[in-house]
Structure 1
Amino acid sequence: MAPSDTDVSPATRAALGHILGSLGDLSGVELLTGGMFATTYRVSLADGTRVIAKTAPTSTDRLLSYELDLVRTEALVYGLAAGRPDLLMPRVLLTDFSRSILPADVVVATHLDGVPLLDRLTVTGEPVADQPGLQHDLGALMARLHTVTGTEFGYPNRAAGLSAPTWPEAFGRMVNALLDDAERWTTHLPSTEIRAALDRHRADLAGVTVPVLVHTDLWAGNLFVDAGTGRLSGVIDPERAIWGDPLFEFAGADQLGRGPVPATLLAGYSAAGAQPALGTPAGDTRLLLYRMYMALVLLVEIAPRGYQGDWVAGHRAAAESCLRAALDALA
């Protein structure tokens, strides 16, 4: 994320000062841009320390079902990573879920070293696919992340009601919640075909019996790299994390992807001691289901987020194409 020229209102600055009071006095607040859901501020303290304060909308009228209390999941995941420096995540400094100082949940975390990968790609023009070292690092990070296990499947945020004892049940709830959201926002989708694919491949989903921590959103905007080497140094924004199938991660990291998972990514995953289930009929089917799911997210969120601009039509067409490709392959 890059600093925005947009001024932070005096009221917001005062509220952040109150929330962060236990950490020190504020000397500066910058609004960061680049996120599509939350509002993020880089806060400088009087002693020179910089921290990140993240807020998320709480009004439910423009939220998808899975987005309820979403930033609380971020605090949960950072807490799980607190004793695991190999997971490369910030450390939570404080939270405010009272919604009494700001009309939002607030998570304050440490400021990561390094540079946002998205900023580096903008400067260098070198796509991630052409950076085997970075791909290898990301695969290894995924494998380490998937050693963290839970007790049930689905979204951790209880308000969403999208968790269950088994993966087929949890994933079914996740898909059907998106289809319900689509109906609420009059977004046309082949819902009957999607539900049929889900039912047809339930046995493949049932092969997943251990819920692992899946970030689900490991794209360039959520990764930090070392300024000198370009190697992976940090990971942010796990608010969409789920307890689920490790293969879900590969769909989340490339949400418009349709081809094979990059070999260097898989090599990093295997080098860290994990073995993905790709190359098996059940595993390949599950990856298609997760690509179907990610395409659904991208399509359904367009209306409630009020996306505007020349890019929207192309974005919608790309997501629709990915959804169709997944459904055709699943059939």
Structure 2
Amino acid sequence: MPDDLRTAPLDDALRAALTEVLAPLGDVTGLTPLSGGMFATSIRVDFADGRVAVAKTAPADDDRLLRYEQDLIRTEALVYRLAGDDPALLMPRLLLADTTRRQLPGDLVVASWQSGVRADTVPELAQATADRRGRGLGRMMAALHRHTTDRFGYPSGPEELRGADWASTFESMVEAVLADADTWSVELPVSAIRTALRRHHAALAEVETPALVHADLWPGNQFIDAVSGELTGVIDPERAFWGDPVFDLIACDPFRAGAPDPSLLAGYREGGGSVDPDSPRLALCQLYLALIMRVEIQPRQYTGDWLAEHVAQVDRWLTDALDRLG
């Protein structure tokens, strides 16, 4: 991933609109763009009484969005609401959600400031305390996956990405990314992908309960204590969906081949989660995430010296998933 993510300055119109929408929370004294995101615009909000929050907004109508990315900010608000009643989820508190799109061109979610430091910004500390952090992350995932509902798929966005069973819903999710690939002229081994889905339909059908899946728990969304390395919180649940919980075990460590990290699995089991590390479901989840990562490059218009190796890594990861699915 790029290490030079830039922040776009806030124009006067956006500043004025944000200040107006944020008024119910208090007097705004500062709006500062935050780096680190590739999809939404995140902004530090300083209030006159010393409080700090994070506001996030994303375009409502943007031809660079993949099909599953429509209305994702609404999903983030939904997950933060759930987390507000479950401290084990280690997420910020939801302070405000505005989906009216009257003052802003897209939806807005405002959450409390997360304590700690992003794990990807302190690599030496994160590496030295990886076992402790992995166990904490596994326990948090287990708590997350205890939240269930009665329908699979993405809470927001197109209706075709929701369904009554996981097998058909997952297949629709994959087909949506393949359609995006066609739109953006991204070449993929489509026949092999569809063959893998057919071959492992029974494994997908094993998932009978739609669990809450964060779907983006990579180190950039993990916050840790600056001294101990202990996991203090996680952010950015905008890509969450109701589905197979093992997806989180894959998505937290992109490009890892084979079984998830032992510390992560240990923490997950300590928290009450269960997983068969030999199940084809893990490779199916890897396949889906690799497809998203490969296709999004075009609409995002990624550039930089890092890109060639990133593409190569994604392609290797996609090939590994297909090989494991036989």
Bin for the TM-score computed over the shorter chain: over 0.9
SS of residue in 1 equivalent to 2:46:
strand
Specify the alignment match of 2:173 in structure 1. 174
Give, in whole Å, the separation in 1 of the partners of 2:87 and 2:4: 25
Q: How does 1:131-210 map to 2 (within 5 A)?
A: 131-159=130-158, 161-210=160-209
- Mapped partners of 1:147, 1:31: distance in 2: 34
TM-superposition CA deviations, 1:151-201 (whole Å, max 9, x none): 111111143530100000110000000000000100000111101110111
CA contact (8 A) 2:42 2:56 kept: yes
Name the amino acid aligned to 2:38. M
What is the aligned length?
Answer: 324
Structure 2 match to 1:127: 127
Match of 1:307 in 2: 302
Q: SS where residue 63 of structure 2 aligns?
A: helix
Structure 1, 157-166 or 200-209: larger mean CA deviation: 157-166
Q: Quote the Cα distance in structure 2 between the aligned partners of 1:5 and 1:62.
A: 18
Distance 1:297 1:3 in 2: 19
Matched, 1:286 2:288: no
SS of the aligned residue for 2:155 comes to: coil
Structure 1: where are the runs of 5+ without partners?
none
8 Å Cα contact 2:69/2:157 also seen in 1: no
Does 1:92 pair with 2:94? yes
Distance 1:164 1:5, change over 3 A: closer
> Distance in 2 between the 1:320 and 1:227 partners?
34
Tell me by how many angstroms 1:329 deviates.
Answer: 1.7
Counterpart AA for 1:327: L
Structure 1 residue 259, shift from structure 2 partner: 2.6
Instruction: Quickly say closer, same or farther: Cα 1:306–1:262, change in 2 above 3 A.
Output: same
TM-score (norm. length: structure 1): 0.94
In the alignment, what sits opposite 2:19?
17
| Cα drift, residue 325 of structure 1 | 1.2
Partner of 2:256: 257
Separation (CA, whole Å) in 2 of partners of 1:323 and 1:49: 44
Give the 3-state SS of the residue equivalent to 1:209 in structure 2.
Answer: coil
Residue matched to 1:220: 219
The amino acid of 2:199's aligned partner reads R
Q: Structure 2: which 5+ runs fail to align?
A: none
Corresponding residue number in structure 2 for 1:104: 106
TM-score by length of 2: 0.95
CA distance in 1, matches of 2:46, 2:147: 32
SS in 1 for 2:10: coil
Which residues in structure 2 correspond to 1:54-93 (within 5 Å)?
54-93=56-95
- Contact 1:247-1:277 at 8 Å conserved across structures: no
Is the CA contact (8 Å cut-off) linking 1:67 and 1:160 kept in structure 2?
no
Distance 2:299 2:56 in 1: 21
Between the two proteins, what is the percent identity of the paired residues? 47
> Which amino acid in structure 2 is aligned with residue 307 of structure 1?
Y
The 8 Å contact of residues 69 and 159 in structure 1, kept in 2 or not, is answered as no
Distance 2:150 2:172 in 1: 17
Q: Structure 1, residues 221-249: CA drift from partner, whole Å, max 9, x if none?
A: 10111222110011100011111111111
Tell me the distance in 1 between the aligned counterparts of 2:263 and 2:54: 32
What letter matches 2:166 in structure 1? W
Confirm whether residue 324 of structure 1 aligns to residue 319 of structure 2: yes
Distance 1:313 1:4 in 2: 19
Partner-residue secondary structure (3-state), 1:22: helix
